[in-house]
């Protein structure tokens, strides 16, 4: 399938370049973090809308310009695709075999940051594209993966090193340990046999910060409530060069593990920085101020190693989630 290159940013760059007295030089397009969202086949019906939401929120922050490159996908959720104006998307193209996309070859080197929005069924990338991507991250490129993107590409060793832990896709003890915190606050790497990845019913759950000195989490309340979402548990993988910044308690009454599961993580791969966020199942989960703030801060950190953004005043608290309806 011909890769559909979507450059919304041309339009938004034009809009943002209208002279404004309040806009400082650092917000000029040339200094912004050049971001590429890679998406395509996904078992989550809201995925095109979520790409659109991320792009809009990131550009609204004044820190990022965002392009999208879409690999082959199965046509699902037509309503969402048409509502969120995915330029160049065409139904005939979309229905082609999504098991592979031999022409998918984004120019990663033109960007500072890549965000993965795929599901477990993402069309495998061509070998050359994988190598280009590995080189990009090794040389210091930033990467953000969230929710089902940690289900993708189970066979791709370097990708699994980048995400640290993942689920589904026949991941088992052969891929690395389960990683979680116990009730005493001890990080456990558990090599016991078993499948990776599960979740109970969607619900609001509490995020517990484990390192409040990291640029991404600094200033966040120690506990905050995520809007209705899936709480991934039993993730496993190589988990090398990985730090868990926050966990979420996976309660047995929610069909969970009774463990504190990793929710926000940072990793290094070569010189590259990676931010991994397990949240973001549906559009309403992405409307969460906690989720979006984590993504914006995680994206800035992955690209630059720093975070300049403030924690917004409507950030969730330990017992109250916070959402802003996207329209």
Say which residues have a Cβ less than 8 Å from residue 174's Cβ, sequence separation at least 6: none
User: In the bound complex, what is the minimum distance in angstroms from residue 278's beta carbon to Zn ion?
Assistant: 10
Stretch 214-253: interaction string toward Zn ion, x if CB under 5 A? ----------------x-----------------------
Distance in angstroms (rounded) separating the CA atoms of residues 140 and 270 = 7
What sign results for the dihedral spanned by CA atoms 18, 67, 147, 215?
A: negative
Cβ burial of 21 (10 Å; 0-12, 13-18, 19+) is exposed
Give the residue with the Cβ less far from Zn ion, 62 or 77. Answer: 77
Give the residue with the Cβ less far from Zn ion, 66 or 149. Answer: 149
CA triplet 319, 320, 325: central angle to 5 degrees? 155
Record the tokens describing residue 24, joined without a space: 């400082």
Give the residue with the Cβ less far from Zn ion, 214 or 281. Answer: 281
User: In the bound complex, what is the minimum distance in angstroms from residue 50's beta carbon to Zn ion?
Assistant: 11
User: In the bound complex, what is the minimum distance in angstroms from residue 128's beta carbon to Zn ion?
Assistant: 30
Cβ burial of 89 (10 Å; 0-12, 13-18, 19+) is middle
Give the residue with the Cβ less far from Zn ion, 148 or 267. Answer: 148
Q: Which residue has the tokens 């991250």?
A: 137
User: Taking contact as CB under 5 A, which single stretch among the options 79-87, 157-165, 174-182, 278-286 is the one that binds Zn ion?
Assistant: 278-286
Stretch 180-219: interaction string toward Zn ion, x if CB under 5 A? ----------------------------------------
The CB density around residue 80, as the number of other CB atoms within 10 Å, is 17
What is the number of the residue whose Cβ is closest to Zn ion? 281
User: In the bound complex, what is the minimum distance in angstroms from residue 175's beta carbon to Zn ion?
Assistant: 20
The yes or no reply on residue 150 touching Zn ion (CB under 5 A) is no
Give the residue with the Cβ less far from Zn ion, 210 or 281. Answer: 281
What sign results for the dihedral spanned by CA atoms 272, 277, 281, 284?
A: negative
Record the tokens describing residue 159, joined without a space: 């990708």
The yes or no reply on residue 300 touching Zn ion (CB under 5 A) is no
- Answer for which of 41, 281, 296, 303 binds Zn ion (CB under 5 A) is 281
User: In the bound complex, what is the minimum distance in angstroms from residue 22's beta carbon to Zn ion?
Assistant: 38
Cα–chain-centroid distance for residue 85?
Answer: 21
User: Taking contact as CB under 5 A, which single stretch among the options 21-29, 110-118, 188-196, 277-285 is the one that binds Zn ion?
Assistant: 277-285
Give the residue with the Cβ less far from Zn ion, 44 or 214. Answer: 44
With CB under 5 A, what is the number of residues at the site for Zn ion? Answer: 2
**For the residues of 296-308, what is the DSSP string, one character each?**
HHHHHHHHHS---
Give the residue with the Cβ less far from Zn ion, 283 or 300. Answer: 283
Give the residue with the Cβ less far from Zn ion, 69 or 230. Answer: 230
- Beta strands 178-181 and 142-146 are unpaired
Distance in angstroms (rounded) separating the CA atoms of residues 238 and 179 = 10
Contacts with Zn ion, residue ranges (CB under 5 A): 230, 281
């Amino acid at each position: 399938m011909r890769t559909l290159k979507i450059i919304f940013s041309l339009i938004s760059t034009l809009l943002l370049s209208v002279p404004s007295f309040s806009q400082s030089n650092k917000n000029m397009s040339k200094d912004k973090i050049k971001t590429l969202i890679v998406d395509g086949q996904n078992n989550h019906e809201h995925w095109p809308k979520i790409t659109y939401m991320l792009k809009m929120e990131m550009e609204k922050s004044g820190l990022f310009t965002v392009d999208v490159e879409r690999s082959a996908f199965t046509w699902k959720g037509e309503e969402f695709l048409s509502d969120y104006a995915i330029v160049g998307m065409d139904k005939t193209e979309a229905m082609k075999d999504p098991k592979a996309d031999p022409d998918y070859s984004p120019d990663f080197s033109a960007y500072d940051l890549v965000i993965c929005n795929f599901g477990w069924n993402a069309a495998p990338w061509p070998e050359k594209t994988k190598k280009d991507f590995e080189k990009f991250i090794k040389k210091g490129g930033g990467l953000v993966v969230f929710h089902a993107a940690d289900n993708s590409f189970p066979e791709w060793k370097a990708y699994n090193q980048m995400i640290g832990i993942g689920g589904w896709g026949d991941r088992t003890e052969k891929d690395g340990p389960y990683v979680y915190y116990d009730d005493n606050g001890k990080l456990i790497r558990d090599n016991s046999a078993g499948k990776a990845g599960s979740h109970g019913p969607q619900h609001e759950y509490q995020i517990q910060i484990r390192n409040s000195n990291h640029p991404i989490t600094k200033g966040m309340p120690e506990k905050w409530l995520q809007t209705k979402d899936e709480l991934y548990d039993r993730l496993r993988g190589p988990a090398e060069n990985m730090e868990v910044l926050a966990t979420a308690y996976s309660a047995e009454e929610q069909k969970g593990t009774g463990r504190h599961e990793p929710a926000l993580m940072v990793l290094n791969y070569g010189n590259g920085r990676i931010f991994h966020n397990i949240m973001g199942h549906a559009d309403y989960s992405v409307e969460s101020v906690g989720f979006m703030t984590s993504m914006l801060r995680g994206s800035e950190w992955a690209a630059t190693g720093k975070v300049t953004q403030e924690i917004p005043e409507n950030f969730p608290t330990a017992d109250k989630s916070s959402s802003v309806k996207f329209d």
